[in-house]
Each structure stands twice: as structure tokens, then as C-alpha cells.
Amino acid sequence: MSETAKQKNMASKAHAEVHSDDAAKDGRTRTLHIFRGDGEGGDLVEYEIPMIEGMVVLDAVLNIQAHQAGDLAVRWNCKAAHCGSCSAEINGKPKLLCKTRVEEYEGQDIRVMPLQAFPVVKDLVSDVSWNYGVSAQIPAFNPGNEQAPFTMFEEDVERLYEPRKCIECFMCQDVCHVLRTHHKHPEFAGPRFFVRMQYLEMHPMDQSSRLQFLKEGRGGVQYCNITKCCSEVCPVDIHITDNSIIPLKERVADEYYDPAKWLMRKIRGNRRNGSANGGGARPNHKRAEIRTNG
Ligand code: SF4
Ligand code: SF4
Ligand code: FES
């Protein structure tokens, strides 16, 4: 088979179900160790499956579920690396099960575990609902009195494409040591939400500020020491540290440590404390400010 035909064949099989007929065509097998258990504890259990060229780890897990362990819990939806549901850990690293070929682990064990930064529900399923709680606390998009459709400069719109690619797989949250090792969940929003806040802060029509949330609220951007682990695991190649976290840190530093801005913040804070609703909206100059920075 030519190299191109071989590649096409692999691509077409990448998301295919594994059937016992396929096993008959190719006698090879593959062993996987899969976590079986819940939040109370569990163990890795060994399964042997028929090996098929191009098979992804999700195929292998679904084959085990279909033929050997009907109660094996795994979350998936699109099987095309679009929905972010199938994130888990393979050999200690967060991966999308539907985007990771079994062949990548030739000569190695394959150990599949649930995401470790969140409570385990069962087998390969973690409870990621904490993330939705964080999301709900971020000051929402606020276009003021402007009504869609908006007119925006092209360069402003282009800057919003990257953060919009996020599929909420939460693998960046899983790998971040602030959550995974130091368990700062009550004080730290995590890289996924720095991406979200970068989007909102750079949106030319938005009139709210998230800098207070980032510095004094549960954003906790100061805990991030820019190790870039989050960027390395992002399946849609968002440059989380360079394009989201560093610009947010710079804005926080400008706001809190520039003496003139510090004074303005104090004055605004005093006004806010004296107002009935606590304020929170930023002055209506964000669009001009971003355009001149761009
Ligand atoms: S760069 Fe920051 S947010 Fe990303 S993994 Fe490292 S500490 Fe966490
Ligand atoms: S930023 Fe990347 S790694 Fe993080 S949740 Fe979004 S897609 Fe997943
Ligand atoms: S099943 Fe949707 S990303 Fe894997």
C-alpha cells in the first residue's frame, strides 16, 4: 500500500468502532490498564483487546466496554476532538481519548486514568462541575447600551479567534499544579478561565472589567508562575500563557501597581462602596484603549 493510501486508511479508521471481525483480520492484541473505581478508591485493571491500525484510545475503551466490562464508565460525545468530553489521563498526562492513537504508545504500557484535579465519579469520569461554578462568577460580557450586530475593527476580531477555539476539555485545568498539587480551587480560576477572561477583556465592545476578580477575587492570577504546562496540553493549540495569562498579568500590574491607576482605583473603589449596587462597570473607553494598544 502506498504511503498516502496508508495514511488515508489510518485516518478513515481513526474514529471507527472496533468490531470482532476486524480482530480476525489482524491477530495482534494490545493490553490496556484502566482505572476502575470511584472517589473512595480503585485500581488499574488489565484488559486485552484486538489491535487495529489507526485505533484511538477511545476505540479501545469502548471495545472493552462492549465486550468485557459493560459497566465501565467513560464520557464521550463527538469522537472527533470537538466536544472536550473524553478528556482523561494516559500515562499521567491529560489527553483527549478520541484524538490519541494507540500506536503512539508502541512498546509502552497504556494506563488510562480519570482527570486527577477533580473528584472522580466512576472509572474514567471526573466531576468537572466546579469549572461551571467558576465560569458563572466571571463578570459577564457587557456591551452597555450597544446593540448587536456590532461594528468592530478586523484586528480586534482576529484577536478573539484564538480564545474562542476552547472546547472546555479542562485538560489545562487538570495539569495546572496550582489546582492539581496545591488544591487552590477556592482561590484560583485556572488557565481555561484566564482564556475566557482574556477574550472578554480584549473584546472591543465589552465595558466591564475583570481585573479586580483576577487580583482580589477568586481569579487568583498571581498564583500562576507561567510554567506553560497548560499551553502544552491544549488540544486546540491555544497559547494560554503567552496570549492569555501574560497579557492579563500585565493589565493587573498596570491597574494595581501604576501609581496613577492605583489612585484612580482607590477613588473608583470609594465611589463604588458609596453606591447602592457596588458598581463594577469600567468607563466607556475600553474600545479606544484596546484599539490604540493593538
Ligand atoms: S502557566 Fe500558570 S495556569 Fe498554566 S499550568 Fe502553569 S501555573 Fe497553571
Ligand atoms: S484552553 Fe485548551 S486545554 Fe484548556 S479547556 Fe480550553 S481547549 Fe481545553
Ligand atoms: S469525544 Fe468529543 S472530544 Fe473526544
The CATH number of the domain holding residue 74 is: 3.10.20.30
Whether residue 200 sits in one domain with residue 90: no
Q: Which of 65, 75, 76 to mutate to test the pocket of ligand 3 (most atoms within 8 A of CB)?
A: 76
Residues 117 and 213 in one domain: no
Ligand 2 pocket check for 170: Cβ under 6 Å: yes
Domain end residue (candidates: 74, 109, 126): 126
What is the whole-number distance in angstroms between the Cα of residue 230 and the centre of ligand 1? 6
The domain boundary, picked from 126, 159, 178, lies at 126
Ligand 3 atom at shortest distance from the alpha carbon of 97: 4
Average pLDDT for 124-149: 96
Between the CA of 97 and the centroid of ligand 3 the distance, in Å, is 7
Confidence of residue 73 (pLDDT cuts 50, 70, 90): very high
- 294 has a pLDDT exceeding 80: no
pLDDT > 60? residue 137: yes
Judge whether residue 206 has pLDDT over 50: yes
Nearest protein Cα to ligand 1, atom 7: 224
The band of 169, judged by pLDDT with boundaries at 50, 70 and 90, is very high
Residues 180/188, Cβ–Cβ less than 8 Å: no
Pick from 103, 62, 78, 99: which is nearest to 234 by CA? 99
Q: Considering 103, 126, 149, which residue would you say is the last residue of a domain?
A: 126
| CATH classification of the domain holding 171 | 1.10.1060.10
Considering its fold, how many domains does the chain have in total?
A: 2
Nearest-CA residue for atom 1 of ligand 1? 226
Residue 259 and residue 191 share a domain: yes
228 lines ligand 1 (CB under 6 A): yes
Q: How far apart are the first and last CA of the chain?
A: 51
Q: List the single range of 73-87, 94-108, 249-263 with lowest mean pLDDT.
A: 249-263
Copy the grid coordinates of residue 216. Answer: 482580589
Q: How far is the CA of 93 from the centre of ligand 2 (A)?
A: 14
Q: Same domain for 105 and 54?
A: yes
pLDDT number for residue 264? 75
Verify that 165 and 90 share a domain, yes or no: no
- HEC string of 133-202 equals HHHHHCCCCCCCCCCCCCCCCHHHHHHHHHHHCCCCCCHHHHHCHHHHCCCCCCCCCCHHHHHHHHHHHH
Are residues 69 and 186 located together in one domain of the fold? no
- Cis-peptide into 143, omega within 30 deg: no
Host domain of residue 9: 3-126
Question: Is residue 219 lining ligand 1, measured as CB closer than 6 Å?
Answer: no
Ligand 1 pocket residue status of 178, Cβ below 6 Å: yes
